[in-house]
Amino acid sequence: MMRPDVILLVEDEAMLRQILCETLEDGGFLVENAATADAAWAMVDGGLTFDILVTDVQMPGEMDGLDLARRVSGRCPDVRIIVMSGFTSRADFDRRLGKFLRKPFTSATLAATITSYDGCAN
């Protein structure tokens, strides 16, 4: 049996982060989460291994989600990246980073976005 994919979820809104964690865990994923891009990068820098990054764009701190996505892409080129935002438009998103998910979205849309990546275990 294959191990489930590990998702690093980065969302500053606590309630939404909790809902997304539960949704992803119910979908069979293992989820690590952070409230800011800075905290997520500290986890990556500390050696966290993960398969998928799901990050919001606008967050407090030194980095936003796009900065985090660029850093993760540079350090971990095999990590699949999904950037979500209610403010950034798809046109502003560099598609070479990964996939873009416009907020608000449904659990089914999130699941479909994750599983549409080639090689996704779920």
DSSP 119: T
Q: Residue 1: pLDDT above 90?
A: no
Which residues partner with 101 through β-bridges? Answer: 84
- Whether 108 is in a domain gets the answer yes
Q: What amino acid is encoded at 100 in this protein?
A: F
Q: Identify the pLDDT of residue 91.
A: 54
CB proximity list for 37: less than 8 A, separation 6 or greater: 10, 55, 59, 61, 62, 63, 64, 65, 67, 68
Q: Which domain holds residue 94?
A: 30-115
Q: Identify the pLDDT of residue 120.
A: 46
CA dihedral 87, 7, 34, 45 (to 10 degrees): -110
**Domain harbouring 100, CATH code:** 3.40.50.2300
The tens digit of pLDDT for each residue in 46-59 reads: 999 999 999 999 99
Q: Residue 90: pLDDT above 60?
A: no
The tens digit of pLDDT for each residue in 6-37 reads: 999 999 999 999 999 999 999 999 999 999 99
* Count of domains forming the chain: 1
